[in-house]
């Protein structure tokens, strides 16, 4: 679920982004729970699914979902209504929390464990790089509903849980949820999903439903293609030329990179043509001692509120050495209205004012000391 944040952060109150699919007869909601509205959406979805359910199970599976207070609230309410909630996720904090955001994740994880007991399995990405490895094929084919993250990892985990799989799925899912440059290196069917995700329109406040509709269609076609539907496969293959064009734009953008601190480069992609983030980041990471990559954007959830968005990512070889949360005030919350979004230590998104006033000065100081 992590690297999809380089394109757009979904599921926030200002961006009511969700996808509803029926996977092997199991109603599935793809959503990130951050707000009271998101909790209400989950509750209404489950209640409606339950009214049409004819089996004897009362299971609700949460898989690859953000460990947030809103998620905990949804689980509490579902338990109160006597549903059996099963929680599977790989976003626990690896080691001791190093800041207030990580401490909040630990607190929410503890609450979920206390609420669910043996029905809660929250692990770390280092041990389970994809959430599909946390379920067996068809393990939840009798569930009333599945709640999952609206990204490729959430999709592959939900489909496997519901009973749709193929031999390479776990390996593909790990690549799809990994660094962008490796997302298109999976099996042929996986590459179609990765390339389709790469060319989804970024969130645009003037067209708020455009990305959601495009992603819903992509998920639907890919599920059909996995099951052998030829028309869906043809529609997916038609996106390859769009992806190829986007990679060419990325190659041009990489040449415009400027150094803003030792080991840190910035590329201005605001108002540029559609590009492939995976290709761009791969090209930028190739330089020796390149530690952090910054993209300046005109589209995205923070840009929608603040005009411009800065997206920072730590290169793979430095992800265990650099924590981007050190670049913002210790008590800062991940909130687009405040101009900050960060769910993992190696990704950070900020407004232009936060970038100028907080992030860039700290970045220069941090990188100078590590030279």
Segment 13-23 mean pLDDT = 71
Close Cβ partners of 80 (under 8 Å, ≥ 6 residues apart): none
Q: Are both 219 and 264 inside the same structural domain?
A: no
Residues 228 and 260 reside in one and the same domain: no
Instruction: Select the more confidently predicted residue: 342 or 242.
Output: 242
Torsion of CA 18, 20, 23, 27, to 10 degrees: 110
- 219 located within any domain: yes
Q: In this structure, are 234 and 255 located in the same domain?
A: no
Same domain as 144, residue 23: yes
Count of domains observed in the chain: 2
pLDDT at residue 361 greater than cutoff 90? yes
Residue 110 belongs to a domain:
yes
Q: Among residues 152, 149, 121, which one has the least CA distance to residue 135?
A: 121
pLDDT on residue 16: 44
Residue 243: inside a domain, yes or no?
no
Q: How far apart are the C-alpha atoms of 345 and 102, rounded to whole Å?
A: 9
Mean pLDDT along residues 116-135: 96
- Residue 304: its pLDDT value, please? 87
Residue 174: CB atoms within 10 Å: 20
Q: Which of 238, 263, 278 is the last residue of a domain?
A: 238
Span 38-42, mean pLDDT?
A: 97
**According to the model, what pLDDT value does residue 98 have?**
75
User: Which two three-digit tokens encode residue 138?
Assistant: 């068809």
Same domain, yes or no: 164 and 267: no
Report the chain's terminal Cα–Cα distance, integer Å.
32
Residue 75 falls inside a structural domain: yes
Looking at residue 371, its pLDDT comes to 63
Residue 6: pLDDT band with limits 50, 70, 90: very low
Using the predicted structure, report yes or no on whether residue 151 has a pLDDT greater than 50. yes
Residue 17, Cα to own-chain centre: how many angstroms?
A: 12
Q: Could you report the per-residue pLDDT of 47-104, keeping only the tens digit for each?
A: 999 999 999 999 999 999 989 999 999 999 999 999 999 999 999 988 888 777 788 8
**Cα separation of 169 and 11, whole Å?**
25
Query: Residue 344 belongs to a domain with what CATH number?
Result: 3.10.310.30
Indicate whether 204 and 264 sit together in one domain.
Answer: no
Of the three residues 218, 238, 258, the one that is the final residue of a domain is 238
Confidence of residue 132 (pLDDT cuts 50, 70, 90): very high
The reply to whether 244 falls in a domain is no
Query: Is there a contact between 213 and 203 (Cβ–Cβ < 8 Å)?
Result: no
Does 174 fall in a domain? yes
How far is it, in rounded angstroms, from Cα 293 to Cα 263? 9
Give the model's confidence band at 192: pLDDT under 50 very low, under 70 low, under 90 confident, else very high. Answer: very high
Q: Is residue 36 one of the residues assigned to a domain?
A: yes
Domain housing 67:
3-238
Same domain (yes/no): 188, 282: no
Q: Same domain for 133 and 232?
A: yes
344 pLDDT above the threshold of 80: no
Q: 282 is written with which tokens? A: 């791969």
pLDDT at 368: 84
Cross-sheet strand order for the sheet of 84-89: 19-23, 26-30, 145-148, 59-63, 84-89, 120-122
Residue 34 scores a pLDDT above 90: no
pLDDT in tens, 261-279: 999 999 999 999 999 988 9
Both 207 and 257 in a single domain? no
Boundary of a domain, candidates 217, 238, 259: 238
Cα–Cα distance, 303 to 350 (Å, whole number): 9
Q: State percent of the chain over pLDDT 90.
A: 73
User: Quick one: DSSP state of residue 239?
Assistant: T
Match 């992603």 to its residue by tokens.
Answer: 215
Say if residues 120 and 29 touch (Cβ distance below 8 Å): no
| 53 lies in the same domain as 189 | yes
Do 345 and 271 belong together in one domain?
Answer: yes
Query: Cα–Cα distance between 12 and 132 in angstroms, integer?
Result: 24
Quick one: 232 and 257 in the same domain? Answer: no
Collapsing DSSP to helix, strand or coil, 111 comes out as helix
Looking at residue 106, what DSSP letter applies? H
Q: What mean pLDDT value characterizes the chain? A: 90
Phi, psi of 288 (to 5 degrees): -65, 145
List phi, psi (to 5°) of 351.
-75, 170
**What is the Cα gyration radius of the chain?**
20
Range of weakest confidence among 46-55, 161-170, 224-233, 344-353 = 344-353
Classify residue 52 by its DSSP letter. Answer: T
Residue 216 has pLDDT above 90, yes or no: yes
pLDDT at 328 over 60: yes
Per-residue pLDDT, averaged over 196-218, amounts to 88
Whole-model pTM: value is: 0.83
Q: Is residue 357 part of a domain?
A: yes
């Amino acid at each position: 679920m992590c690297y999809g944040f380089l394109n757009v952060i979904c599921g926030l109150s200002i961006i009511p982004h969700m996808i509803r699919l029926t996977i092997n007869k199991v109603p599935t909601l793809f959503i990130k729970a951050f707000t009271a509205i998101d909790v209400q959406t989950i509750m209404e979805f489950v209640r409606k699914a339950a009214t049409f359910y004819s089996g004897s199970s009362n299971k609700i599976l949460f898989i690859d979902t953000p460990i947030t207070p809103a998620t905990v609230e949804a689980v509490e309410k579902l338990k109160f209504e006597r549903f059996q909630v099963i929680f599977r996720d790989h976003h626990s904090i690896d080691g001791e929390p190093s800041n207030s955001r990580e401490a909040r994740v630990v607190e929410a994880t503890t609450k979920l464990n206390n609420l669910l007991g043996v029905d809660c399995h929250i692990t770390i990405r280092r041990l389970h790089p994809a959430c599909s490895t946390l379920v067996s094929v068809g393990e939840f084919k009798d569930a009333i509903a599945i709640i999952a993250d609206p990204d490729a990892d959430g999709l592959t985990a939900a489909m496997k849980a519901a009973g749709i799989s193929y031999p390479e799925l776990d390996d593909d899912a790990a690549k799809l949820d990994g660094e962008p440059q490796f997302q298109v290196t999976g099996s042929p069917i996986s590459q179609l999903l990765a390339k389709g995700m790469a060319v989804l329109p970024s969130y645009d406040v003037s067209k708020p439903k455009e990305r959601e509709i495009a992603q819903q269609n992509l998920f639907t076609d890919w599920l059909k293609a996995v099951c052998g539907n030829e028309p869906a496969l043809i529609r997916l293959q038609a996106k390859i030329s769009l992806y190829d064009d986007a990679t060419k734009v990325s190659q041009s953008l990489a040449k415009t990179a400027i150094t803003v601190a030792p080991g840190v480069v910035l590329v201005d992609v605001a108002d540029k043509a559609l590009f492939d983030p995976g290709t761009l980041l791969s090209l930028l990471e190739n330089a020796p001692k390149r530690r952090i990559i910054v993209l300046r954007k005109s589209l995205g959830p923070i840009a929608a509120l603040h005009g411009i968005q800065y997206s920072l990512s730590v290169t793979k070889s430095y992800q265990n050495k650099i924590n981007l949360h050190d670049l913002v005030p210790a008590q800062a919350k991940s909130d687009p209205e405040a101009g900050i979004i960060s769910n993992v230590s190696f990704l950070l998104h900020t407004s232009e004012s936060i970038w100028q006033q907080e992030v860039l000065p700290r970045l220069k100081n941090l990188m100078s000391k590590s030279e």
